[in-house]
Amino acid sequence: MKTIRIVVFLLCTLLASTVMVQAKKVHTLGDSTMANYDESATVTRGWGMYFGNFLTNGWTSINYAKGGRDSRGGYNELWQTAKKNVEAGDYVIITFGHNDEKNGGMDGVELYNYYVNKGDMEAAKAVDQRGTIPSTTYKEYLGKMVDEAIAMGATPIVCSPVCRSYFGSDGKIKRNGRHDLGDSFSILTADGPTTGNKVPADDHTMDYGYHSQQLASEKGVAFIDLTTATAALYESYGDAKCHEYLFDGDGSTHFNTTGALLVARECARLMKAQGIMADNITLPVDITVAPATGDFGEAYVGQTLQKEFTISGFGLTPEAGTATVTATEGILLSTNKTDWQQTLTVNYAASTLVQTFYAQLTLTQKGAVSGTITVTQGDKQVNVPVSATAISLEGGTEVNAYWRLEKDDSYTLTGPATAIDQTFEGMEVQRYANPNSATVWPEWTGYDASRKMQRDLIVGGAWPADEIDDNPARYIQWGITAAVGTELKIDKLSLFAAGCGGNGICCHAYYSTDNFETRTTIFEMKKMPANNPQYIEATPVVTLKEGEQLLVRIYPWYNGAASGKTICLSDLTIHGMAMEATGILNQKTAAEKGNKPIYDLQGRQVAADSLSATSLKKGIYIINGKKTVVK
């Protein structure tokens, strides 16, 4: 018996050590300041995009952060996705706070239920159900993520939220910029909300960063004070330069590439200083380029691809100088996406270089292409391999789903696929009309001001005052499903969007193939010019297997409190090519005969197998994955 126990113990020990060796992931959960952004759609960047730059020894970072999430949304949505991938030995970085401040520090769900219980449904509908109380629900949801991460054998790290760049006259970040609402906050009482409450500067009742630290201490887990660290970073630049060099040009919350990279480096530096992952974090002082490999992935023949790279260098000598970027033939470079050439020269000062540049590659023929980008500073040189694969859509059946949105939400569909009806969450159709008699369409469309669009309004009609990003509970959605027996390769998404009633409408457009557990940004615009439809177009490289869906969503919000303002939408198109799905046989008789079922152009099966073609009525069918005309 003793021998058996020893063997079992050794096997368990070996298994545990194997798990620890294999565990190489850091999972990051947070809001828009940490989130991923599409480089082709916006200049905004989240620091979670760059945290992996500072990991070594095979460790990688997976970023689950999304805009608009508070700690409750972080637990209910982001963590539920992340924990499917978390393994023993992983690390989980958790940071929330920006959206927890909704409703002036009241709990959004409690406020909503207060009005429901009073029978005031109009007031209830107007409540943003995001927002938590620092000392209670905020800590509760952070604690849930911490506890569950520990139970899974992972190591949670709580980070206080990055500051907003709200500067006071003394050149310091103000109290509310540090996520302490003590100068003005709201309380939900038995008689309703009270506003404008205040506590002294040494009272941390409404300080989210303070309570995140308290939570970490209570749970006995690591804490990273990004609030203090980012306050010091911003103040080192000063108000004007901080906004110019670190932020995206639209307010005081969201970073550009430089800001996001420096915050990611600060988090990594603080972790290393505390002995957290110290041997697996690197803080290079020489020139580095991220990403280190320029893999453009798959794209269609004829498509022009762009990819963003960031050069970073710290402690460089001499203190001021230049670096050069060169590319092999077929690759063009730019710092502004306008002027493209094979060689760039970039300047740096104070021994620090942070420079974003873009590489452009046009795929002229089917197959793999490769090249190299070289960055040189003094005697230092970094080579970045570049690769892409061009694929062809020949041999498929065209699929096109089109929503005109002129008088209703009906659509036309050609090809073997199923369109997914338009749906609304927190939004509703106001009416179908032209945005305004002065509407200006892009000249190339040939449209005039009489062209109608679907005008969509927030439920309740009133846009809240404090939104700076999309609300996860407010969107408009369409989609498409691949037909049985096919693989649907999506190659185009497009639509028009406009604001009406002022220049304050903002929106994000995304697509997703996993019901929005993850998403890709195809458009972002803040303060859309009124009555000027914006053309949104993307060329994704997406393959849907039979039954899989692609969803498109528009998330609107308004810049400030307002009533009656609408977002206007029209001409949504989802286009692709349906290919025969290799090896898919869903009819037993067809499988036995070595033939495939027959479908009409709406993806409905009309015959058991291709041998039945002789009995079909006149029309167009998909037989063995190809469009066939039966006369």
pLDDT digits (tens, 9 = 90+) for 565-609: 999 999 999 999 999 875 433 333 333 334 556 666 555 566 655
Q: How confident is the model at residue 294 (pLDDT cuts 50, 70, 90)?
A: very high
pLDDT beyond 60 at 23: no
Three-state SS at 245: helix
Q: Cα separation of 158 and 540, whole Å?
A: 35
What's the token pair of residue 262? 């420096």
pLDDT at 230: 97
The mean per-residue pLDDT over the stretch 161-188 comes to 97
pLDDT value of position 603: 55
Q: Are strands 380-391 and 294-300 parallel, antiparallel or unpaired?
A: parallel
Question: In 10 A of CB 327, how many CB atoms?
Answer: 23
Q: What is the average pLDDT across 380-401? A: 93
For residue 277, the cross-strand partners are none
Q: Given this model, what pLDDT does residue 176 score?
A: 96
Tell me the two tokens of residue 227: 């609030």
Q: Rounded to an integer, what distance in angstroms lies between the CA atom of residue 156 and that of residue 225?
A: 14
Residue 223 confidence class, pLDDT cut points 50, 70, 90: very high
CA distance 531 to 440: 6
Query: Is 414 in contact with 601 (CB distance < 8 Å)?
Result: yes
Taking phi over 0 as left and psi of -120 to 50 as alpha, with beta for the rest, 564 belongs to: left
Q: Would you say residue 119 has pLDDT above 80?
A: yes
What φ, ψ does residue 497 adopt, rounded to 5°?
Answer: -140, 140
Q: Find the mean pLDDT for residues 509-531.
A: 93
Query: For residue 571, what pLDDT is reported?
Result: 98
Minimal CA–CA distance to 140: which of 190, 70, 92, 81?
Answer: 70
**What is the pLDDT of the chain when averaged over all its residues?**
89
Contact 456, 495 (CB under 8 A): no
Query: What is the pLDDT at residue 394?
Result: 84
- Strand-pair partners of 323: 346
pTM (two decimals) = 0.80
At residue 599, the pLDDT reads 63
Chain-centre distance for alpha carbon 372: 29
Average pLDDT of the residues in 512-533: 93
Beta bridge partners of 575: 400, 492
Establish how many alpha carbons lie within 13 A of residue 614's alpha carbon, considering only the half-sphere containing its beta carbon: 1
Q: Say which range, 1-10, 215-224, 235-244, has the weakest mean pLDDT.
A: 1-10
Backbone angles phi, psi at 128, to 5 degrees: -80, 115
4, 82, 420, 480, 546 from 472: Cα distances, Å: 54, 17, 20, 21, 28
The helix (H) or strand (E) run that includes residue 146 is helix 139-151
* CA angle (563 as vertex; 558, 567 as ends), nearest 5: 50
- The SS3 of residue 270 is helix
C-alpha to C-alpha distances, 106 to 13, 159, 237, nearest whole angstrom: 48, 22, 33
Q: What is residue 611's DSSP assignment?
A: G
Helix, strand and coil percent figures for the chain, each rounded to 5: 25, 40, 40
End-to-end Cα distance, the chain: 79
Output the pLDDT for position 3.
Answer: 43
Higher pLDDT, 465 or 403: 403
Amino acid at 190: A
d(CA 355, CA 353): 6
The mean-pLDDT minimum among 48-62, 275-289, 608-622 falls in 608-622
Residue 436's pLDDT is: 86
pLDDT of residue 587: 34
Work out the average pLDDT over 62-82: 96
Across residues 472-500, what is the average pLDDT?
95
Rounded CA-CA distance 466/180 in Å is: 16
For residue 239, name the pLDDT band (cuts at 50, 70, 90).
very high
How would residue 350 be classed by pLDDT, with cut points 50, 70 and 90? Answer: confident
Evaluate if residue 310 carries a pLDDT over 50.
yes
The residues, any chain, with a CB within 8 Å of residue 56's CB and separated by 6 or more, are: 280, 281, 282
Which of the four pLDDT bands, split at 50, 70 and 90, describes residue 536? very high
Closest CA to 549 of 580, 587, 590, 515: 515
Angle formed at CA 493 by CA 488 and CA 499, multiple of 5 degrees = 155
CA 101 to mean position of chain CA atoms: 21
The reported pLDDT for the residue numbered 8 is 39
* CA neighbours closer than 13 Å in the CB half-sphere of residue 472: 23
pLDDT beyond 80 at 1:
no
The amino acid that residue 24 corresponds to is K
Residue with tokens 């990051």: 28
Mean pLDDT over residues 437-459, rounded? 94
Give the bridge partners for 453, in sequence order. 433
**Cβ contacts of 294 within 8 Å, gap of 6 or more:** 307, 309, 359, 373, 384, 385, 386, 387
Give the SS3 label for residue 56: coil
Question: With left for phi above 0 and alpha for psi between -120 and 50, is residue 547 left, alpha or beta?
Answer: left
Which amino acid, 61?
S
Q: Are 397 and 626 in contact (CB under 8 A)?
A: yes
Number of other CB atoms surrounding residue 330 within 10 Å: 15
Q: Residue 560 above 50 pLDDT?
A: yes
Which pLDDT belongs to residue 591?
Answer: 37
Burial bucket for residue 14 (CB in 10 Å: 0-12, 13-18, 19+): exposed
Structure tokens, 208: 């989210």
Cβ-proximal residues to 16 (8 Å cutoff; 6+ apart), any chain: 88
pLDDT digits (tens, 9 = 90+) for 128-165: 999 999 999 999 999 999 999 999 999 999 999 999 99
Q: Which residues pair with 623 in a beta bridge?
A: 598, 626
Per-residue pLDDT, 12: 44
Look up residue 246 and give its two tokens.
């670190």
Provide the residue type at 390 as one letter: A
User: What distance in Å separates the CA atoms of residue 210 and residue 603, rounded to the nearest whole number?
Assistant: 57
